[in-house]
Amino acid sequence: MFLAPTRTTSLRRCSLLAAGLFCLGAWQPVLGVPVDSLYIDGRDEKVIEPKINADFPDPALIQGDDGLWYSFATNSNGNNIQVAKASQISGSWELLDNDALPQVGWATGSNTWAPDVRKLDNGSFIMYYSGEVRDGGGRHCIGVGISDVITGPYRPTREPWVCPFAEGGAIDAAGFYDEPTKKRYVLYKVDGNNVGNGGDCNNGVPPLVDTPIMLQEVEADGISKVGDPVQILGRTDADGPLVEAPNLVRTGEGLYILFFSSFCFNSDRYNVNYATSKSLKGPYTRASRMLLQTGDFNLTAPGGATSVDGGGQMVFHGNCPETSPQRCMYQTLYSVTGRDVIIS
């Protein structure tokens, strides 16, 4: 049974909205259409083209006070932290000649990864990033920078914010504001594969090391920790060497969706996956299938997804079609039916 035209027509209308806003109608289930059909629809025929056709890995996403959308990315093109902007997420993006983190403080500055930017209650902006530790054997730890301007420059704190050195360090921090409780949190990955035993992403040779996703409550300043972190996801055999790149959203229906990636970033098996929960701290139930993987929509190694707050639209990276293994930024709409996330 093929009823997709109704859904497709609705989503085309959504794509015309200004400022990158998603259509609320895209959240509604299509009556009579099995979720399996919605999941499969278009994956072989539709092509998702890069929004930034340059090396721009691990893209973050935030809307500025000026109404523009900003994305921040892992070091490349001569900058520690890259910045791009657009009037709408689905529109044309401009890669800025601007280093959002020109001074890296305690870090080496050689490998500065996976930034995430959030606005604080006082109007300033906080950036979480993964900085390489000096004399740390390649370990990364989570750093924090503050700026009064969304594009920076961000001023790093004197010391790393989180640094479980013996466990391999920490990477891929992402802020989250829980609207019902008015509390702030930060997610991150304990980088266990950094102290693995070799093989795929240094964690393909038994015994494999865990790479847990942690959730840490913080005060309104986005820095001061409240209590101890809790683990909300761990690596399984189905994930290969790791899970990483956490990003958390809460839908209007109260569903928490934890997006993450598994397998090694330089492998075609890298992906965007997700798990859901009705409670912030879990337990999280993994989806029965990956959200995005190589071959879907002509993508190769999609990963590192960041959703808009509330859900409905995301950016992510994948191998650039012309300059692989560089990783370009892509964008897509998505909808939620029950606990199933469907690429629109």
Beta strands in the chain (DSSP E): 62-63, 69-73, 82-86, 94-95, 113-119, 125-132, 140-147, 155-156, 170-178, 183-190, 213-218, 225-233, 243-250, 256-262, 273-277, 285-286, 303-307, 313-319, 327-337, 340-343
Residues 296/43, Cβ–Cβ less than 8 Å: yes
CA-to-CA dists, residue 60 to 9, 116, 308, angstroms: 29, 5, 10
Q: Which of 99, 132, 172, 244 is labelled catalytic?
A: 244
The verdict on whether 58 is a catalytic residue reads yes
Number of helices and strands in the chain (H, E): 2, 20
Catalytic entry in 55, 58, 116, 172: 58
- Is the separation of the CB atoms in 26 and 333 below 8 Å? yes
Residue 244 falls in the annotated catalytic set: yes
Catalytic site positions? 58, 244
